[in-house]
Amino acid sequence: MQLTLVSAQVALSSDPDRDHPMSPLRSTCKSVRTLAAELTRQAHAVSHQTVSEVLQSLGCSLQANRKTREGSEHPDRNTQFEHIARRAKEFQQRAQPVISVDTKMKELVGDFKNAGREWHPQGQPPAVRVHDFQDDELGKAIPYGVYDLGANTGWVSVGIDHDTPEFAVESIYCWWRQMGRKTYPEARDLLITADGGGSNGSRTRLWKVALQRLADVTGLKIGVCHFPPGTSKWNKIEHRIFCHITRNWRGRPLESLEVVVNLIASTTTTKGLRVRAALDTDGYPTGIKVDAAMMAFLHLIPDEFHGEWNDAIIPTGVGRVSKQPRKLRVKL
């Protein structure tokens, strides 16, 4: 009887059709009670407790999904990692800035539930909205971050419009004006490491046009290295700044843009991380097209190794620009 029950339970637990819409044991409801009911229907009358004990005897346990699959792996994935590390080391040896950039997840602004917990008087948790529908007045926060690998400092621009290449490069320019040029007064070059997609994607033409504008305004030769597809989690900013920002505001509703900016700016670590943040209320329209003629004017030099991932942008003018504007906007 016991052997028959185990065999039947194993067959149910490993049913290849359990995700079929018509299966009685869909993965969304395969609890011990559901298994017990199905076994009883098949003439194996058992309780859910017995089912649980049998599963444990088979070495089974309750487990959540684990994010381990990164999709198809590019054959030069590791070589690109090595290339990025080599370029970063070479820049740092010459005391030139190396930054990691990315957009953090957009956040709804208002009295919405935020994952995590913080200390409150017992039985008095903060009250938040039941449904996460965007508040038309408060909108959303779009944090774009810049992490300085050498100085262990960061800058985050909190936008309110769209995550576009213009917004991304404007955020980098804010970092340069507020932090970068003070830390690296003799800088002539800048290396940017970024994901392969999004507003700073390797195939995004407006990203390259905006970087040309940044190079022209700052006088910096800008090198860019993109991570291979499906490897964004290895971007330094993800685990040097963004994870600490998330920890800093866990369990706390982001009730206003001021709260978002202040919580980001108060993020620190025991290893000395310092972060500055500012609100960017400018509009960044989407749908801007960059044609081939515009691309032809770029002073862009693709790298010999995967030029679609690695390139350099040379300033148009000769020498450093003496006066830099307060805002950097692309001239199309």
* One domain, residues 219 and 124: yes
pTM reported for the whole predicted model: 0.80
The reported pLDDT for the residue numbered 1 is 46
In the numeric block, which tokens belong to residue 281? Answer: 């209320």
In a domain, 320, yes or no: no
Q: What angle (nearest 5°) sits at the alpha carbon of residue 189, between those of residues 305 and 268?
A: 100
* 204 in the same domain as 97: yes
Whether 142 and 210 share a structural domain: yes
How many structural domains is the chain composed of?
2
Same domain, 35 and 141: no
Same domain for 87 and 224: yes
In a domain, 183, yes or no: yes
Is 326 part of any domain? no
Are 31 and 84 in the same domain? no
Q: Is residue 103 part of a domain?
A: yes
15 and 120 belong to one structural domain = no
- Give me the percent of the chain exceeding a pLDDT of 90: 61
14 and 124 inside one domain: no
Q: Which domain holds residue 291?
A: 77-313
Residues 145 and 259 in one domain: yes
In angstroms, rounded to a whole number, what is the distance separating the alpha carbons of residues 16 and 266? 50
**Domain identity same for 154 and 241:** yes
Contact 175, 136 (CB under 8 A): no
Residues 198 and 307 in one domain: yes
What's the rounded Cα separation, in Å, for the pair 85 and 38?
55
DSSP reduced 3-state for 156: strand
Q: Which amino acid, one-letter code, is at 202?
A: S
pLDDT digits (tens, 9 = 90+) for 51-105: 788 878 877 777 767 665 655 578 889 999 999 999 999 999 999 999 999 999 9
Q: Are residues 6 and 83 in the same domain?
A: no
**CA dist., res. 100 & res. 151, Å (int):** 12
| pLDDT computed for residue 323 by the predictor | 66
Instruction: Write the pLDDT tens digit of every residue in 115-172.
Output: 888 777 887 788 888 788 888 889 999 999 999 999 999 999 999 999 999 999 999 9
Helix H segments across the chain?
2-13, 32-41, 48-57, 77-93, 165-175, 181-183, 205-218, 236-237, 243-248, 257-265, 292-296
Q: Quick count: other Cβ atoms within 10 Å of Cβ 214?
A: 22
The pLDDT tens digits for 193-212 are: 999 999 999 999 999 999 99
Alpha helices (H) along 94-176: 165-175
Strand 153-159, strand 140-148: pairing? antiparallel
